[in-house]
Structure 1
């Protein structure tokens, strides 16, 4: 699947397609309005230079929230799963030609952490 930020400065592809998305109510996700799809790092392919991105971390500083330096759209996050594997959380709102309304949502209470 193809994805990008609003201005196209950040472009990526992901192997596979989401079968559900997570809606988190933590202080960051609630403000961004993201719906996340978690994939292994190997499934994610960034097609633009790293310098097109900026990072933001908060709380325990273990998740790199990646966003476009030009338009500010938060397209994905990078982190480590509890089992130690590298993962990427894709903002499904940044996927192209994809029906978000057909995707089941799983709600996560991120405020409880």
Structure 2
């Protein structure tokens, strides 16, 4: 498979994301937010990801220091990505479910126990 850029979109197509390459791995986090949002995450530096379209963001209120804002399409509601809120966090998450499964075939999916993280 090619190492080139990949394009994905929410269900209605109003939000489009382009990532520079296939991710090295994908995280399937079981924390309360990720499971309810239905996302699995590929990570890139914010400058590497192109996001087009209008999203709405949510910041968890149950953590002492929120570290990210989760975004979704304002039209169809699909989770699209998360952006960092902390200056020292130099990555963002992209919902890998928005990309063609064949384009991501064979990439390791890591089960992450986010439910055990302190809030």
TM-score range, shorter chain: 0.7 to 0.9
Instruction: State yes or no: 1:90 paired with 2:94.
Output: yes
RMSD: 2.0
Q: TM-score, normalised by structure 1?
A: 0.84
Gaps of at least 5 residues in structure 2 are 1-5
| Residue aligned with 1:28, SS | helix
- 1:80·1:87 contact (CA, 8 Å) conserved in 2? no
Tell me the matched-pair count.
Answer: 109
CA distance in 1, matches of 2:13, 2:115: 32
Instruction: State yes or no: 1:31 paired with 2:33.
Output: no
Q: How does 1:1-113 map to 2 (within 5 A)?
A: 1-48=6-53, 52-58=54-60, 59-60=62-63, 61-79=66-84, 84-96=88-100, 98-113=102-117
Which stretches of structure 1, 4 residues or more, deviate above 3 A after TM superposition? Answer: 96-101
Range with greater deviation from structure 2 (52-61 or 36-45): 52-61
CA distance in 2, matches of 1:85, 1:21: 18
How far is the alpha carbon of 1:99 from its aligned partner?
Answer: 4.2
- 2:16·2:51 contact (CA, 8 Å) conserved in 1? yes
How far is the alpha carbon of 1:80 from its aligned partner?
Answer: 5.4
Gaps of at least 5 residues in structure 1 are none
- 1:65·1:76 contact (CA, 8 Å) conserved in 2? yes
